[in-house]
Structures are given as C-alpha cells and as structure tokens.
Amino acid sequence: MSATNIRAQLSDSISAVLSNKIAGRELRWYLSGWRLGIILLVVCIILPFVLDGIDPSLVTTSIAIGTYIILALGLNIVVGYAGLLDLGYVAFFVIGSYTVAVGTYGFLQNAQGKSIPIPSFSGQLFWLLIPLAALLACLFGILLGAPTLRLRGDYLAIVTLGFGEIVPIVFQNVPWFFGQFGMSASPPPDVGPITFSDPLNQYPFYYLTLALVVLVILGVTSLRGSSIGRAWIAIREDETAASVAGVNLVRTKLMAFGLGALVGGIGGALNAAFVSSIAPSDFNFNISITILIMIVLGGLGSIPGVIVGAIVLRFVDVYLLGKINDAVHGLPLVSGSGAPLHFLNNVDFNTAKFLIYGLILMFMILLRPQGLIPDVRRKRELQGIGASAEGASAVGLLEREEAGEDEAGGETTTVGAGSDAQGRED
C-alpha cells in the first residue's frame, strides 16, 4: 500500500469519526464523535507522563502547541467557516495577552515614566482574567469588524493586516504599558495543592491548557454543526444566495469575527500566563501568518485538520528546529573551523522555518487547496456518487468556480443594510 493510500485512509477515518457524518444531524454526530473524543482525551491526559519520560521539555512544548491549537481553531472560524481572510489575527492574541499582564502586574506607567499602582486580580480572581481577555478581544473584533466587514475579501485582508500591525504599535507607544520593554504577567494562583509557579513541574499548566483546548474544541464543534455554522458556510459559498435565503450578512460575519477574536483572546491569556513576560515585539505579522498556515496546511474549515496543522507546525517550530540546529551545528563535518561543511554553522534553521512556511503556503494553494485532512464535505465529494473531477470542489474559499452572470449588473454581492453594493463592486 502506498504512503498516499495510508494517509488517505488515515485522514478518512479521522475525519469520518470526528466530523459531521450526516450533515445537519448534530445530535447523532455528537454522539458518534463523543467516543473518539473521549479516547483522545484520555490519551492527552496520560500524554505528559509519557513525554516526560522521553524528554521533559516536550511537556513545555505541548503547552506551546496547545496555545496555537486554540489560536488556529479561532482563526478557522473566521477564515475556514465564514471565508473572511483575516491577516491580523495576532491583534486579538496581543489583546488577550496584555489583559492578563495588566490584570496581574499591579502597575501601569504614566506619561512621565513613573509606575502607578493599580488594583490587580490577585489570588483566585485571576481566573476572571481569562473570560475578561476573551470578552475584550471579542469587543475589539466587533469594533474592527463593524465598519470593515462590508469590504470585498481582499480589501478586508489588508485592513485586518493593518489592524494587526497597529495594535502592537499602540501597546508600544501608549505610555501605560511600559513601551518596548513590555510587562510581566503572573502565573495562575495555586489551587489547593496544585501550583502553577513551579518551573520544574509543568503538569498543572499542561492540564490547564488541555482544559482550555477541550473547551474551545467543544465550542467550535458545536457551532460548526449548528444553524450559525451553516450560515457561515453558506456565506462562504455564495453571499448573495445566503442573503436571499435569510442570512443576515452583517450579523453573521460579525459573529464569526467576534467569536474568532474571542478565541484568540483566550489563546492570548493562556500565552501571557505561561510565558510570564510579554513585549510588543513578540507580536507581529509572522504570527498571524503562522496561524493561517496551520489552517491552510491542515484543511480550511476542518477541525481535526486545523488541530493537526497546529501540532505539526508548532512542534517543528518550538522543538524540532532547535534540535536540528544543535544536531547539524554539532556534526564534526560542520563544527570545526576548517570543517568542509562549516558554512552550515551560519545557517540558522529557526530562520529557515519561514522559508518552509512560505513554501507550504504556495504548494498547498497550488497543489492541495483542501489541506491534509480536508473538511468532511470535500471528502464526501471525492467519493461522491457521480461527482466529476471538475464538479467536486475544495473548501469554498479556495475552490475553483465559474461565477454566473446576472442579466444586467454582472455578478453582484450585497452587503447588508446601508451599503451601496454597486459602489463597492465596480
């Protein structure tokens, strides 16, 4: 059996179980998904003990992976479901991170550079910061989305990119947040005997991350099969038809944007509590794109795909590249000053990852736009009864389509109340 076959079967079985087997039948689907979900959950609960045995740093790596699973699932709502290309998702990550930092640090800086004490969320109040971070990010998502969601897709992409660039600049330049030096955030408080502040014991943090990941997975899974999820996909497929079928475009898009941002805020809060020190320069366009690559790699709109995409990319990033760097630079052929492959000593494989990212984006879009583990919809079409090669299309965002022409105005997209469709379409 060829590798492709095995992979196809594997992704088949995973997506068949994890995803909506009979579309629209949420309840039945829920139950069938439960079984595999519980098995995977048990595996994840045991996992740190295994990892600890192999390499203790893998537990920390898992936490870093978990953060990005959350972020990727959040962005997937916006890009994968609703088909809105958000290139500035990092903004919500920043907002979530700074919420926890401001909430726990106890100080802000005034314009004269003096630290001013402020009340902090001390003790068990810390836990309020996670929903607060989510809500604040959601709020900013809605504030950004309200004026911009009427824009055509590619314009929206650039506006969100701008927002993603501006937010870290704001945190750097507004006096309160200690400029480029950033702020530190406290880890969560001890809960009974469980302590989050012991650097040698990462287990509590691992389980906190796992809990948040599970929560987000449950949330997006529930949404995916619901009327809201259907409306998102309808918009992605054909905005005008969705609108005529009764989907309120502005509201539905705002919901995608707001919920995507909300999940990003959760990821940010977890990140701040975990890394404990954040600065504006930690947040840039590369993060937005990294998350986008995770979902393009895994399969736009596919929950298992997005999770696998995040795991693979983040594992390579925080663990594998470092190991490769050390291994290559340690080779006798490389390390000595006169060694034949000495030039490799100057190659930083951590940098090279962006080359890989770029290649992944290009190749996925050109050769496999449906991703490694496609949304089940795509799967079904490939097996579909009488589906021709051209007839079957990948996830709507990247599918090939022949747009039909209306009689007088050509293709039209209406964009909610008060907007002039013509002006934007010309």
Partner 1 sequence: MPENVLLRLRDVKKVFGGLTAVDGITFDVNQGEIYSVIGPNGAGKTTVFNLITGIYKPDGGEMLFEGQSISGLSPDRVLRRGITRTFQNIRLFNNMTVLENVLVGQHSKIPGNLPSVLLHLPNYQRAERRAEERAVELLSFFGPSLVARKDDYAANLSYAERRRVEIARALGSEPKLLLLDEPTAGMNDAETGEAINYIQRLRSEFGLTILLIEHKLQVTMGISDRIAVLDYGRKIAEGVPAEIQRNEQVIEAYLGRKAAVE
Partner 2 sequence: MLTLASVFAANSSSSNIFLQQIENGITLGAMYALVALGYTLVYGIIELINFAHGDIFMWGTVITFIVVQMMGLNHPLSGFALVGVLLLLIIIGMAVSAFLNAGLERVAYRRLRKAPRLAPLIAAIGASFILETIVQLWRGTNFYAFPDIFPHGGFTIFGARVNYLDIFIVVLAVAMMYGLARFINTTKLGRAMRATAQDPEAAALMGVNINRTISITFLIGGALAGAAAVVYNMYIGQVWYLTGFQLGLIAFTAAVLGGIGNIYGAVFGGFLIGLIQSLAIQFIPGGFQWSLAVVFAVLVLILVFRPSGLLGQQVPDKV
| Kind and range of the H or E run holding 107 | strand 107-109
Q: Which stretch binds partner 1 (CB under 8 A): 201-209, 288-296, 336-344, 411-419?
A: 411-419
The answer to the question of residue 412 lying near partner 1 (CB under 8 A) is yes
CB of 147 to partner 2, least distance (A): 5
Say which entry of partner 2, partner 1, none residue 279 contacts (CB below 5 to 8 A, set by partner kind). Answer: none
Helix residue ranges, H only, 201-348: 203-224, 227-237, 239-244, 249-275, 285-298, 303-315, 321-330, 332-335
Task: Say if CB 421 and CB 412 are below 8 A apart.
Answer: yes
The answer to the question of residue 324 lying near partner 2 (CB under 8 A) is no
CA distances from 146 to 50, 213, 257, 288, 412 (A): 47, 28, 9, 21, 21
Tokens of 3: 């590798």
The answer to the question of residue 313 lying near partner 2 (CB under 8 A) is no
Tokens of 368: 């496999």
Q: Which of 401, 404, 417, 418 binds partner 2 (CB under 8 A)?
A: 401
Nearer to partner 2, 18 or 161 (CB): 161
Say which entry of partner 2, partner 1, none residue 350 contacts (CB below 5 to 8 A, set by partner kind). Answer: none
Q: Which of 165, 190, 282, 381 binds partner 2 (CB under 8 A)?
A: 165
- Please give the Cα distance from 377 to 111 (Å, whole number): 54
- Please give the Cα distance from 32 to 185 (Å, whole number): 41
Say which entry of partner 1, partner 2, none residue 210 contacts (CB below 5 to 8 A, set by partner kind). Answer: none
Q: Which of 200, 367, 385, 389 binds partner 1 (CB under 8 A)?
A: 385
CB of 272 to partner 2, least distance (A): 23
Number of residues that bind partner 1 (CB under 8 A): 58
Say which entry of partner 1, partner 2, none residue 24 contacts (CB below 5 to 8 A, set by partner kind). Answer: partner 1
Say which entry of partner 2, partner 1, none residue 28 contacts (CB below 5 to 8 A, set by partner kind). Answer: none
The answer to the question of residue 389 lying near partner 1 (CB under 8 A) is no
The answer to the question of residue 416 lying near partner 2 (CB under 8 A) is no
Tell me the angle at which helices 203-224 and 26-54 cross, rounded to the nearest 10 degrees.
160
User: Binding string, 26-65, against partner 1, x = CB under 8 A?
Assistant: xx--------------------------------------
- Please give the Cα distance from 221 to 383 (Å, whole number): 24
Q: Which residues pair with 278 in a beta bridge?
A: 183
**Among candidate residues 66, 80, 63, 68, the one with its CA nearest the CA of residue 19:** 80
Say which entry of partner 1, partner 2, none residue 173 contacts (CB below 5 to 8 A, set by partner kind). Answer: partner 2
Nearer to partner 1, 314 or 378 (CB): 378
Q: How many CB atoms lie within 10 A of CB 404?
A: 8
- What lies within 8 Å, CB to CB, of 317 at 6+ separation is 290, 353
- What lies within 8 Å, CB to CB, of 157 at 6+ separation is 85, 86, 87
Task: Say if CB 209 and CB 48 are below 8 A apart.
Answer: no
User: Binding string, 138-157, against partner 2, x = CB under 8 A?
Assistant: ---------xx--xxxxx-x
- Please give the Cα distance from 156 to 153 (Å, whole number): 5
- Please give the Cα distance from 238 to 244 (Å, whole number): 10
Q: Which stretch binds partner 2 (CB under 8 A): 101-109, 183-191, 212-220, 392-400?
A: 392-400
Q: Which stretch binds partner 1 (CB under 8 A): 53-61, 128-136, 153-161, 402-410?
A: 402-410
Q: What is the CA radius of gyration of the chain?
A: 23
The answer to the question of residue 248 lying near partner 1 (CB under 8 A) is yes
Q: Which residues pair with 116 in a beta bridge?
A: 108
- Please give the Cα distance from 102 to 120 (Å, whole number): 8
Binding stretches for partner 1 (CB under 8 A): 22-27, 219, 222-223, 226-228, 230-231, 233-234, 237-238, 240-249, 251, 255, 377-378, 380-381, 384-387, 391-393, 395-396, 399, 404-409, 412, 414, 416-417, 420-422, 426
Residues that bind partner 2 (CB under 8 A): 83, 85, 87, 147-148, 151-155, 157-159, 161-163, 165-166, 169-170, 172-173, 285, 289, 292, 296, 347-348, 351-352, 354-355, 357-362, 365-366, 369, 396-401, 423-424, 426
